[in-house]
Every structure is written in C-alpha cells, then in structure tokens.
C-alpha cells in the first residue's frame, strides 16, 4: 500500500504538533509506504518512517502574496510551494491521501479531483485555536493574522471536514464540537485516536537535579503556554513560596522563550528555567509532579501525555485534561490560584511511591501507546479502501 502524506508542519520532538505528526507517520509506516509532502526535516533522525519519496515545501518571502493569503485565510505560508509540488505528483500511484490538520481544504480538493480517497487528521478544531490566538493578551503578528483570517478559516475547515472520506479526531469533545459548529453529521466517517507515543520500556535516565521539583514544559512561542505559566508563576508559585517556605522548586523546560519570560523565571524564587533541552525525558522522569496551567485551546495536550507516560501526577485545568478522562486517578483538577496551591500542598506532602508511578505508567500504556494508534489507523484505512472496492 502507498499513501501520499501531506502536512504543512514538520515532525519534531520539540513541540506538541510535531510530536503528533510523528505519531501519524509512525502509525502509517507500520503498514504502508509513504510519499511525504511537507516541511523539510532530517530524514536520518527518523529511520522508523517508511518514506520512499519526499517533496519538501519551501517558503519564499513575498510580502504582497503573503498579505493576500492572510485575507484569503490560507492557513500556511507554503501555499505557493504546494502549488508547484502538486504538479509533480502522480495521484494514480497512491491508494489514498492522508492530510494532517483539518483546515487544509485545498489539499483535500486536489485529492478529490484526482479520485483519491482522503483521510484528514484533526489535531483540534482549528477555528477555536485561531480564535484563542486572536484573543491573546500580547499583540504580535500571530494575533494580527488570526484576527484577520479567522472567518476564512471557519469556511475552510468546514469544507475540509465535509469533503474528507475519513476524519481522525483526537477526542470525543473535538468531534462533538466540530459537528455542532459546522452543522455536519460526521458520525459515519469519524474515528477517535488520542495522542499516543512509545512506551518507555526499560529506558534509563540520568538524574539532572539533586532537589525535588514540580515541572512544566511547552513551546514558549505559543501564547497559551506562555500566558498559563506566567499566570501560574505570579498568582500561584510566588505566593506559595512566601506562605509555605517550601524547599520544592518549580522547573520550567521549554523552547523559544522570550527574554522577558527568561527574566521572569530567573527573578522568581525557587524557579529554574531550562532553555530548549535536547530531551525532556530525564526532567519528566524525576519530577515530583507536573503542572499544566492551560486555560485556552482545544484538542489533547501532548505535554500531559508525556507526564502521564512517566508516571507523574498532574495538576491542571479542565482544558489540560481533555481526552485523558480515563486517567483521572492521576489528575488533580485546579482552575483557580487557590485550587492550584491546595493541590501543590497535597502532592508535595506525599512520599514518593514507586508502586503508584508504575501503576500510572501501566494505565497509560493500556490506552495511549503507539501500538494502539497503529492498529486504529490501519483499521480506518482498510475500511475506507474496502468501501471503495465495493
């Protein structure tokens, strides 16, 4: 079987969307050959991908065309490169097209025009993400772009979901939200596949710190992550340190921080900032517990998945826990500063329990490992192609 895989982000080990793309490519590689259309990446870093041919998209700076595309609601700066690459593709060579993200309507349209069945993976409801970016407190280019094109994204996402032959949602919440928002009945072509990743097996990690710490991670060029952690530092962590005189520290490990964010961490008592670590696993493995102060957004949070995979209890908001309902034994809900503080006091007083940690890892492995994802992707593709034959 050969699949044409289309994405306008790259696989990456350093941010949530990139890790979700790795999940798709590994899941498809388990049963098919792949021709990749997307952003460049180091192929040798991912030998597990069964990629036979690749067509790397390139970005050329053209301010005039960029401005036009913003007002048209084109969800990528790589649209011009896509138009060139699609002329080189031979659709008759593929069994189907797999399209990452639910607002790439132009790729679905091309596939349908060339008689290719299409699977779309919705990382979240893209319109909700654009709306959350447009409401960010800090004004920057991302906020301006989201504000200008969110209505166009609404139309593009509806067309994409309506035209796709099969849709993979991360959560039941996203599925229900998409149906409600777009007034579409997607039940016959929807499947739910949560964020999944490799089990840790017997991998060993060196201990980095000699002190107990709570941990938060994330891409720090994403407004929701920054605003959540900044809120936590100012409204929870600083008052907690003043009131309880605890030796517990708060470690933030993230990529692409602003100078202002680094300064805040450095000036906060018992706060340690780790700038763009090569591997988050050692930090997760030895954390006392995990902090997820996420107040806006949609879809599943990869950071919560990573924390649970290491057996960590997680203190977080309702947004952070979407899709992880089956892991509620290890989730500590907090929406206000007082609730976060109360849960920190509770968990920091608990002695280390290797038994509970292993139980959490086992529960995670039952529902969120890559083998589960591979089986569900394969079943969805086989069902779609069998229907085509019939």
**pLDDT tens, 240-287?**
999 998 999 999 999 999 999 999 999 999 999 999 998 899 999 999
Question: Environment class of residue 330 by beta-carbon count within 10 Å: exposed (0-12), middle (13-18) or buried (19+)?
Answer: buried
Query: Is residue 378 scored above 60 in pLDDT?
Result: yes
313: pLDDT confidence band, cut at 50, 70 and 90?
very high
Tokens of 136: 């960010």
Name the residue with higher pLDDT: 142 or 350: 350
- Sheet architecture: strand order including 314-316: 271-275, 249-255, 213-219, 289-292, 314-316, 331-333
Residue 6 has a CB neighbour count (10 Å cut-off) of 27
201: pLDDT confidence band, cut at 50, 70 and 90?
low
**pLDDT tens, 326-339?**
999 999 999 999 99
Give residue 32's Cα distance to chain centre.
23
pLDDT at 222: 83
pLDDT at 148: 81
pLDDT at 200: 67
Query: Is residue 133 scored above 90 in pLDDT?
Result: no
Tell me how far apart the terminal alpha carbons of the chain are, to the nearest angstrom. Answer: 18
**pLDDT tens, 9-43?**
999 988 889 999 999 999 999 999 999 999 999 99
Q: Give the mean model confidence (pLDDT) for residues 287-295.
A: 96
pLDDT at 205: 84
Least reliable range by pLDDT among 23-27, 49-53, 55-59: 55-59
Q: What average pLDDT does the chain have?
A: 92
Query: Is residue 221 scored above 90 in pLDDT?
Result: no
pLDDT at 66: 66
Distance from C-alpha of 127 to C-alpha of 180, rounded to nearest angstrom: 13
Least reliable range by pLDDT among 129-133, 273-277, 382-386: 129-133
pLDDT at 67: 67
Least reliable range by pLDDT among 101-105, 198-202, 333-337: 198-202
Tokens of 289: 């517990």
Instruction: Express as a percent the part of the chain with pLDDT over 90.
Output: 79
Q: Kindly report the backbone phi and psi dihedral angles of residue 222, in degrees, each rounded to the nearest multiple of 5, phi listed first.
A: -105, 120
Q: Is the pTM of this model over 0.85?
A: yes
Distance from C-alpha of 135 to C-alpha of 151, rounded to nearest angstrom: 14
pLDDT at 390: 40
Distance from C-alpha of 182 to C-alpha of 215, rounded to nearest angstrom: 38
């Amino acid at each position: 079987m050969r699949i044409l895989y289309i994405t306008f982000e790259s696989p990456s080990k350093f941010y949530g969307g990139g890790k979700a793309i790795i999940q798709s490519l590994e899941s498809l590689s388990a049963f098919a050959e792949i021709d990749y259309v997307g952003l460049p990446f180091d192929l040798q870093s991912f030998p597990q991908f069964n990629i036979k041919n690749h067509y790397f998209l390139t970005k050329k700076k053209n301010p005039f065309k960029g401005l036009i595309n913003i007002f048209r609601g084109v969800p990528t700066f790589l649209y011009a490169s896509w138009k060139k690459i699609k002329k080189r593709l031979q659709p008759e060579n593929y069994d189907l097209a797999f399209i990452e993200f639910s607002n790439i309507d132009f790729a679905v349209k091309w596939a349908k025009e060339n008689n290719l069945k299409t699977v779309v993976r919705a990382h979240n409801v893209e319109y909700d993400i654009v709306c959350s970016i447009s409401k960010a407190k800090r004004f920057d280019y991302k906020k301006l772009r989201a504000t200008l094109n969110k209505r166009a994204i609404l139309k593009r996402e509806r067309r994409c979901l309506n035209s796709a032959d099969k849709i993979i949602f991360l959560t039941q919440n996203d599925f229900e939200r998409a149906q409600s928002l777009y007034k579409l009945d997607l039940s016959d072509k929807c499947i739910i596949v949560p964020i999944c990743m490799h089990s840790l097996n017997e991998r060993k990690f060196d201990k980095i710190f000699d002190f107990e710490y709570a941990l938060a991670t994330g891409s720090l060029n994403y407004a929701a992550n920054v605003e959540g952690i900044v809120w936590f530092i100012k409204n929870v962590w600083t008052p907690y340190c003043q009131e309880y005189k605890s030796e517990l520290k708060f470690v933030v490990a993230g990529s692409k921080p602003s100078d202002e964010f680094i300064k805040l961490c450095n000036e906060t008592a018992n706060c340690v900032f780790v700038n763009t670590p090569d591997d988050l696993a050692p930090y997760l493995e030895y954390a006392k517990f995990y902090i997820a102060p996420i107040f806006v957004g949609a879809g599943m949070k990869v950071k919560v998945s990573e924390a649970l995979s290491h057996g960590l209890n997680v203190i977080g908001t309702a947004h952070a826990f979407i899709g992880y309902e089956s892991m509620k034994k290890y989730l500590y809900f907090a929406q206000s500063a007082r609730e976060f503080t109360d849960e920190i006091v509770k968990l920091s007083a608990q002695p280390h329990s290797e038994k509970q940690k292993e139980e959490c890892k086992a529960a995670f492995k039952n529902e969120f490992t890559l083998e589960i994802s591979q089986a569900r992707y394969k079943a969805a593709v086989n069902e779609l192609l069998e229907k085509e034959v019939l």
